[in-house]
Structure 1
Amino acid sequence: MAEPAWRDGNAVRLLENGEAYYARVFEAIERARREVLLETFILFEDEIGLALHERLIAAARRGVEVQVTVDGYGSPRFSEGFLRALAEAGVRFHVYDPRPTLLGVRLHIFRRLHRKLLVVDGECAFVGGINYSIDHVRAHGPEAKQDYAVELRGPIVADIRDFARAALRSPRDAERWRHPAQTAGDAAGPARVLFRVRDNGGHRDAIEREYRAAIRGARERIVIANAYFFPGYRFLRELLRAARRGVRVALILQGQPDEPLAQPAARTLYHTLFDAGVEVYEYCQRPFHGKVAVIDDDWATVGSSNLDPLSLSLNLEANVFVRDRDFNRELHGRLDTLMREHCTRMHADSLPMPSLFRRLIRPLVYHVIRRFPRWAGWLPAHTPRLVRVAPHADAPELPAGRTN
């Protein structure tokens, strides 16, 4: 395994929620001159998806190479008109591992492409947790998601572009990808940035290892805000050790979950977290979809990876890790405001008294989270495919989407 490649000289802009994210993404695509590389888990044919569709077509018509990849589980079936307009403009539209449903039920839930990446002209890149759908915009109402992404400029963009091109060649090329040699490039800002992916090939625990290393080195504070929190044993152990040695550890988790199992799974860990002195806050204003963290005053991460078995052991993910005090200060300020103004702090007496059954199965829960990454290898496996979609009746059926 090659050593992580931290790149100096980058500018990092924090983008909170769809309003900030889509404005910057659409502007970047409108200005594209040569190349647009886009990957996403979800692209819906709604107001946001159609706005993206319009800009991709316009870019392709003015001669820009436009490559789009969506996940075959996360994205819905697209109308023939939607696909035909892209194809006629010259957009190359790919689906990661499309598979038919069985009696309308989606069975291919494992090893999904969950990354959210965009690279434009090799000059700017976007990484985060925000999909292309109206439910990331506050005007959507109480179901609108709270989420984060970053816009990047500087030498790190070359790494992200190199990976995105590898992923277009084949899923196996993406799994074999290594950080390229550092190339000369103009500095765009003061931030050191590392781009990391997780897959089922050469980068199985790359994102988790970055988290664990930073937690081990934490001196003062750890704030993790994550939509789906049910990490493995080693991750949880490092977090508890940090709290016990006096580091302030605060978690922001879902209080209004968009998946029915998210909150009950996380809550099985609460008493263990409380015993070590970890602060737990539940965000109850609307669904929380973020995957971000800050540690001390010079480390932060933003990306697509949840801290649950699907993201840590099965899905294809991408995060950036940032060493920059100004960025850390900004992200920490946003999270601190979230905790103080929009979250409920949980305590042992906030939860229902666990039944005898629950108390008895807690050791089993620990065993499961400790062993899950190994057991995940026994789940149904297949060689993933990247399929170019054409707008005709024989195009692969894309089942209804998922929300994380």
Structure 2
Amino acid sequence: MKQGQWRDGNSVELLINGEDFFTAVFQAIRSARRQVLVETFIIFEDRIGEGLQQALIEAAGNGAQVVVTVDDYGTCDLSSAFVKQMIDAGIHIQLFDPQPRLLGMRTNLFRRLHRKVVVIDGELGFIGGINYSVDHMTETGLTAKQDYAVRVRGPIIADIHRSALGMLSAAVRERLAPVPLRLEQAGHARMLLAERDNRQHTTDIEEQYLQAIRAANSRITLANAYFFPSYRFLRELRNAARRGVKVTLILQGKPDMPFVRVCSRLTYTYLLRDGVVIHEYKQRALHGKVALIDHEWSTVGSSNLDPLSLALNLEANLFIRDASLNQQLQEHLLGLAAAHSVPITLKGAARGQWWRAPMIFLCFHFLRHFPAIAGLFPVHGMRLKPLRAADVMPEARVVEERQQAAHELSNSEKSS
């Protein structure tokens, strides 16, 4: 199936970190009157997760159809009481790829639902990389994550809404009433929604990146949490730098998972030799997935540049042509690089290269072929399970049964 189309006439607003994103999303959800569709990798039962829960319950109480789709690996620890409150309010909840645990370990490691999408009333959309967790609030200090999303209106909503409906199970989709879309011209931004799935759109996001990198004339600025792309991606970045494009990478210098930095550093010498500028961001964990090319093209979404996102996970990115957004994000990212990042030199990256070279070779080629290895596992497509109240309250039933048994025992003792 061919990729999506560029849509004219949209508005776009950049949302930086949880402070911007949660305020905007929760307000939009509470104001919904027709429909709320939410997809995310993670919901934690902290004050942010509780804020989302209450906003969804309020939307359902106002008459909106509400569907929440979460990944069973990323969102696996919500309490039954937390989930039941939403189900009792009429909210539909879906689990992506639910799998039983083996010896207490989660077995659904690969092909995750990693998308972060919200569609409100068929007229307002949010796409980015931010999960529903207090970790995305900068006030949390050492555990905070740096991340981005966008709020959009206009004709692009037709594609985002269609994509969100496509993520629903047949059982849930049949229960939803049609919602009229509001697709009036809202601004001057051109947009394209690109998805990555394991069926027809396996390389769409990567192809959009590659097309833009090949056409770059002046600058490429890329900030990505997990940077270990394909060889052809690395080659195009190097070729861009060779022809005079200023290529700047802002990568994790304070990663939430230490091996991420190790993997990224395997690519440094190859890129630095041809003039690519690399900064490691040190203020907090970088969780963003954004890029800018020249003075108009931008992308914001859920896709990292690593084997999981580019070859296994379900992802969604918006590609945006808007000079104002491009300049705003460019100034922001270069500000991070100047104030909170450490530049990587070729000399520093090459130190110890002689003894690390065999390990680099083996690790690089293993990780590049990792998606094919993971593809041997049986989880290949969408597996969605709608939740019912009966599915989420086993411990409550145990407590109730124990209380009933204690009550019967007490009555028996009294009668004897």
TM-score of the superposition, structure 1-length normalised? 0.91
| CA distance in 1: counterparts of 2:182 and 2:87, whole angstroms | 36
1 or 2 for the larger relative contact order (CA 8 Å, sep ≥6)?
Answer: 1
The amino acid across from 1:286 in the alignment is R
Query: What residue is the counterpart of 1:312 in the other structure?
Result: 310
Q: Does 1:118 align with 2:100?
A: no
Query: What residue is the counterpart of 1:58 in the other structure?
Result: 58
- Summarize the Cα distance change of 1:140–1:160 in structure 2 as closer, same or farther, 3 Å threshold: same
The answer (yes or no) to whether the contact 1:34–1:121 under 8 Å persists in 2 is yes
Query: What residue is the counterpart of 1:136 in the other structure?
Result: 136
Q: Gaps (5+ residues) in structure 1?
A: 174-182, 398-404
Query: What residue is the counterpart of 1:155 in the other structure?
Result: 155
Q: Which has the larger radius of gyration?
A: 2
The answer (yes or no) to whether the contact 1:313–1:376 under 8 Å persists in 2 is no
Query: What residue is the counterpart of 2:401 in the other structure?
Result: none
Query: What residue is the counterpart of 2:329 in the other structure?
Result: 331
* Secondary structure class of the residue paired with 1:112: coil
Q: CA RMSD in A?
A: 2.1
Query: What residue is the counterpart of 1:22 in the other structure?
Result: 22
The amino acid across from 2:239 in the alignment is R
Query: What residue is the counterpart of 1:199 in the other structure?
Result: 197
| CA distance in 2: counterparts of 1:393 and 1:92, whole angstroms | 13
| CA distance in 2: counterparts of 1:43 and 1:190, whole angstroms | 34
* Cα distance, 1:85 vs structure 2: 1.0
Which has more helix, going by share of residues?
2
- Summarize the Cα distance change of 1:340–1:73 in structure 2 as closer, same or farther, 3 Å threshold: same
Query: What residue is the counterpart of 1:301 in the other structure?
Result: 299
Q: Deviations over 1:148-204 (max 9, x none)?
A: 000000000111011111110369x9xxxxxxxxx9942100000000110100000
Summarize the alignment of residues 145-224 of structure 1 with structure 2, pairs less than 5 Å apart: 145-169=145-169, 185-224=183-222
* Cα distance, 1:377 vs structure 2: 2.9
Query: What residue is the counterpart of 1:127 in the other structure?
Result: 127
Q: Does 1:70 align with 2:44?
A: no
| CA distance in 1: counterparts of 2:268 and 2:339, whole angstroms | 21
Q: Deviations over 1:68-117 (max 9, x none)?
A: 01000001322121112111110001111111222222221100000000
Percent sequence identity over aligned pairs:
50
* Cα distance, 1:22 vs structure 2: 0.4
- Summarize the Cα distance change of 1:216–1:396 in structure 2 as closer, same or farther, 3 Å threshold: farther
Query: What residue is the counterpart of 1:349 in the other structure?
Result: 347
Q: Deviations over 1:337-374 (max 9, x none)?
A: 11111111111233472254412344445544654554
The answer (yes or no) to whether the contact 2:3–2:201 under 8 Å persists in 1 is no
| CA distance in 2: counterparts of 1:231 and 1:260, whole angstroms | 18
Summarize the alignment of residues 96-107 of structure 1 with structure 2, pairs less than 5 Å apart: 96-107=96-107
| CA distance in 2: counterparts of 1:93 and 1:83, whole angstroms | 8
| CA distance in 1: counterparts of 2:80 and 2:3, whole angstroms | 45
Aligned length: 387
Query: What residue is the counterpart of 1:176 in the other structure?
Result: none
| CA distance in 2: counterparts of 1:332 and 1:147, whole angstroms | 14
More displaced stretch, 350-359 vs 214-223: 350-359
More displaced stretch, 98-107 vs 183-192: 183-192
Query: What residue is the counterpart of 2:389 in the other structure?
Result: 391
Query: What residue is the counterpart of 1:381 in the other structure?
Result: 379
